[in-house]
């Protein structure tokens, strides 16, 4: 059993003054430890929330942009391993984020 959780994330980043349908599409794959520092397994909801916060930290939309239509869901480790080469690769603590 893997000690990691894997997620996919999609969202649109738009300027505050533009329609939400306009903007830049973002797609990420996320790999993160599924246990806390004491070894206790975290619930999927907690992992999703932390993964979403880590992605927002990396994207850093700034004061004039917003993230809309965001969605995060669990994926299998095989999907993460077989993914194409990412445009950007980031690490936030134990969380690895691949941007496509």
Residue ranges covered by each domain of the chain? 4-99
Is the distance from CB of 76 to CB of 6 less than 8 angstroms? yes
Predicted local distance difference test score (pLDDT) of residue 21: 67
Q: Partners of 28 in the beta sheet?
A: 9, 99
Q: Partners of 88 in the beta sheet?
A: 99
What's the predicted TM-score (pTM) here? 0.86
What is the C-alpha separation between 48 and 95, in angstroms, rounded? 12
Instruction: Report pLDDT digits (tens) over 48-69.
Output: 999 999 998 998 877 888 888 8
> Considering only 4-8, 37-41, 75-79, 93-97, which range has the smallest mean pLDDT?
37-41
Q: What are phi and psi of 96, to 5 degrees?
A: -110, 125
What is the C-alpha separation between 2 and 67, in angstroms, rounded? 31
């Amino acid at each position: 059993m893997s000690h990691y959780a894997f997620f996919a994330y999609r969202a649109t980043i738009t300027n505050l003054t533009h329609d939400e349908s306009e903007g830049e599409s973002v797609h990420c794959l996320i790999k993160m430890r599924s246990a806390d520092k004491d070894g206790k397994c975290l619930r999927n909801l907690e992992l999703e929330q932390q993964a979403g916060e880590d992605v927002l930290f990396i994207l850093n939309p700034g004061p004039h942009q917003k993230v809309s239509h965001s969605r995060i869901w669990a994926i299998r480790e095989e999907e993460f391993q077989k993914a194409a080469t990412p445009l950007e690769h980031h690490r936030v603590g134990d969380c690895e984020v691949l941007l496509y």
